[in-house]
Amino acid sequence: MNDAHTVLAANAAFYDAHESRNLAAMQAVWEHSDRVACTHPGWPILRGWAEVETSWRRILEGPGRNQFIITNDTVEVVGEVAWVTCDENLVAPGSTFTVAATNVFVRDPGRGWLMVNHHGSPVGA
């Protein structure tokens, strides 16, 4: 796979981890460092892996259930950094809504492309 395809696979793994509520898979997607940041839709910016991991632990342990259908995705790779923009179409019983997302990845020599920033925002809110 070329870089773009590998990054899109990492991006897909992020949404698979969320949809399947798999914390270990979510941990595997992210860089575990102070420089990571995560902005869930409507939330303030969370910074550093400890804070980001805690948010995912609570989200994935919670009652929410969503199917993620990713559309309109693009990827750009410049050196060891890549960023993806995409629409997260969330399907829940009786409703659907769309979250616009920006996901930034950095290539780790051992672990491959790791997420360093996720930013999601509700479209139409």
Rule CB under 8 A: choose which of 20, 54, 72, 96 binds its own copies: 72
Shortest distance, CB of residue 118 to its own copies, whole angstroms?
9
Stretch that binds its own copies, among 5-13, 16-24, 59-67, 73-81 (CB under 8 A): 73-81
SS3 assignment, position 79: coil
**Rounded distance, CA 3 to CA 7, Å?**
6
Q: Is 78 in the site for its own copies (CB under 8 A)?
A: yes
Rule CB under 8 A: choose which of 9, 45, 50, 92 binds its own copies: 45
Sign of the Cα torsion 27, 29, 31, 37 reads negative
* Identity of the residue numbered 71: T
Stretch that binds its own copies, among 10-18, 49-57, 59-67, 111-119 (CB under 8 A): 111-119
Phi first, then psi, for residue 68 (nearest 5°) are -100, 120
Rule CB under 8 A: choose which of 57, 65, 80, 108 binds its own copies: 80
Shortest distance, CB of residue 69 to its own copies, whole angstroms?
15
Kindly give the residue spans of alpha helices, DSSP state H, lying in 31-99. 49-61
Cβ burial of 118 (10 Å; 0-12, 13-18, 19+) is buried
Shortest distance, CB of residue 8 to its own copies, whole angstroms?
15
